[in-house]
Structure 1
Amino acid sequence: MSVYIGNLSYSVTEEDLTAVFAEYGTVKRVQLPTDRETGRMRGFGFVEMGTEDEEQAAIDALDGAEWMGRDLKVNKARPRENRGSGSFGGGQRNNNYSRSY
């Protein structure tokens, strides 16, 4: 069971999210993805709760709530999309090729 939290302040910590979500049940895990290049937080995160009821209680209470100066977007996390390992049309471009016209 995982909850997506969007529009987070870049200064939020795992401890901050744990404290907020603990009001609605058991927090099993918190993830705050960071940018690979800068190491800076990306403005969203995931919280894994103990039960679906706890997850839903947190979503109902926190979606649209103002926290740390931002209006949160809170909903059930969707499975990660498979972006594939292709070169063009998504993901990184492979610029190690030459064109001749």
Structure 2
Amino acid sequence: MAKKIYIGNLNYATTDDSLKSTFEQYGEVLSAVIIKDRDTAQSKGFGFVELADDAAADRAIEELNGKELDGRRVRVNFAEERPQGDRPRRSFNRGPRRNFDRDRDFDGNRY
């Protein structure tokens, strides 16, 4: 069964291909993806690798966690599945913001 691995603290210059080649020495890589910002397409500094073999995934985590990759010490561990229903919803309509001190002078008197 395939296991998904989380890799954090990646160098922003690290590519999907370089990540894949790093993990290929441990076993068959099914996928290697670096997460990028939607607007700028810049790396967010973390990614995921999916290995075909559980034993290979365990060995890769054990050997690569805390090691240097592209000049940065990376954090490598099993990826935790995030339930889809528990995502926080963003509210863009927060209502009026009030700053009561804005309309006062330096002595505290209202205009």
Q: Which amino acid aligns with 1:79?
A: E
Cα deviation, residue 14, structure 1: 0.9
Distance in 2, matches of 1:46 and 1:19, equals 13
Q: Which amino acid aligns with 1:65?
A: K
Q: Secondary structure at the match of 1:16?
A: helix
Query: What residue is the counterpart of 1:92 in the other structure?
Result: 90
The aligned runs of 1:1-101 (5 Å cut-off) are 1-82=3-84, 83-84=86-87, 90-95=88-93, 98=95
Q: Secondary structure at the match of 1:29?
A: strand
Distance in 2, matches of 1:74 and 1:42, equals 15
Cα deviation, residue 93, structure 1: 2.3
- Bigger proportion of residues as strand: 2
Distance in 2, matches of 1:72 and 1:58, equals 12
Aligned sequence identity (%): 35
Query: What residue is the counterpart of 1:87 in the other structure?
Result: none
Question: How has the CA–CA distance of structure 1 residues 64 and 94 changed in structure 2, closer, same or farther, with 3 Å as cutoff?
Answer: same
Q: What CA RMSD, in Å, does the superposition of the two structures yield over aligned residues?
A: 1.8
Q: Secondary structure at the match of 2:19?
A: helix
Cα deviation, residue 5, structure 1: 0.2
Q: Secondary structure at the match of 1:93?
A: coil
User: Which 5+ residue runs of structure 2 have no aligned equivalent?
Assistant: 97-111
Question: How has the CA–CA distance of structure 1 residues 65 and 98 changed in structure 2, closer, same or farther, with 3 Å as cutoff?
Answer: closer
Distance in 2, matches of 1:48 and 1:39, equals 22
Query: What residue is the counterpart of 2:106 in the other structure?
Result: none
Cα deviation, residue 91, structure 1: 4.1
Number of aligned positions between the proteins: 94
Q: Larger C-alpha radius of gyration, 1 or 2? A: 2
Q: Secondary structure at the match of 2:25?
A: helix
